Chain A
Amino acid sequence: MSLPKIKYQQITITVPSAGTEVPIDADTDKLYNRVTGINIVMTDQTNTFSKLQLDINNIEIFPENFEVLRLLFRTQVPFGYEYHELNEAASGSKVKGKYKDVDSGATFPYIVTLSLRLENK
């Protein structure tokens, strides 16, 4: 059986309380060699000014003070356009960073899912 051409790898973190900084530390799937996209889903989208700092394969993708609101999609996003594009090395690359909550009135705890689109190119 062959591999699916695209894999969506989820990295899930739980934000327990207001102002918490949650570390992100994961490896990409070794069977795919490129990270081609990223999408963020939050169970409570109130705290959109929260900050996401992320490196993939030691390359900075989102710097310090990068607000997660820039990565959220509106609800009527066209089919096929739901992922922000990336072109980074995968094959077991380190995904490291942190999520810092900026409280605007969300209900805690809430869950943030980073979905990486992985492909072989």
Chain B
Amino acid sequence: MNIKDRYRPYNFSSTKCYVVQLPFSVDVRSGYFAIEEKLPVHIGKLKGLLVTINADLSNPVVLAVILSFNEGLLKNLQIPVWHPLALRHNSHPIPFDEEIFSNSIMQGYFIVPPAERRFDGYISIYLHYEERKP
């Protein structure tokens, strides 16, 4: 993607969107929050991914969320997540072009930022996709 396309607003009609929203309440001693979510069967091909976190954070640029799809065959996607105040004009999901198995489970985790004692909020994972062809 060249810089001109990067700043061109995203075409929300080009893909369908599904949002996985997971609340969390993690103590820094436990270290991480695990993500596990069964994806709807109509998600055929993932075209883009974007993650936001709604939490009261002291660190402006936050963390990386590690995700894997297709039972680990498509793994170790590190998705950067920015502080909500830094988030503006971020309509573009991270480009992605992968078939998703039916009944696939999205798995992953993020590590609690060391500056936080308790980390409460919710994570939203935006999956932009094309529908599965019959």
Contacts and interface: CB of A to CB of B under 8 A. Distances in A.
Interface in A12-64: 37-38, 48-49, 60-64
B124 A67 contact: yes
Interface in B36-87: 50, 52, 54, 84, 87
Interface of B: 7-14, 16-19, 21, 50, 52, 54, 84, 87-91, 124, 126
A74 B10 CA distance: 14
A8 B7 CA distance: 22
Contacts of A63: 17-19
A50 to B, nearest CB: 11
A39 to B, nearest CB: 9
Contacts of B19: 63-66
Contacts, number: 70
Interface of A: 37-38, 48-49, 60-67, 69-74, 77-78, 81-88, 102
Contacts of B84: 48-49, 69
Nearest to B50: A70
A83 B9 CA distance: 7
A65 B12 contact: no
Given A49-B84, A65-B21, 13 more contacts: A37-B9, A66-B17, A67-B52, A67-B54, A69-B88, A69-B90, A70-B52, A73-B9, A74-B89, A81-B8, A84-B12, A85-B8, A87-B13
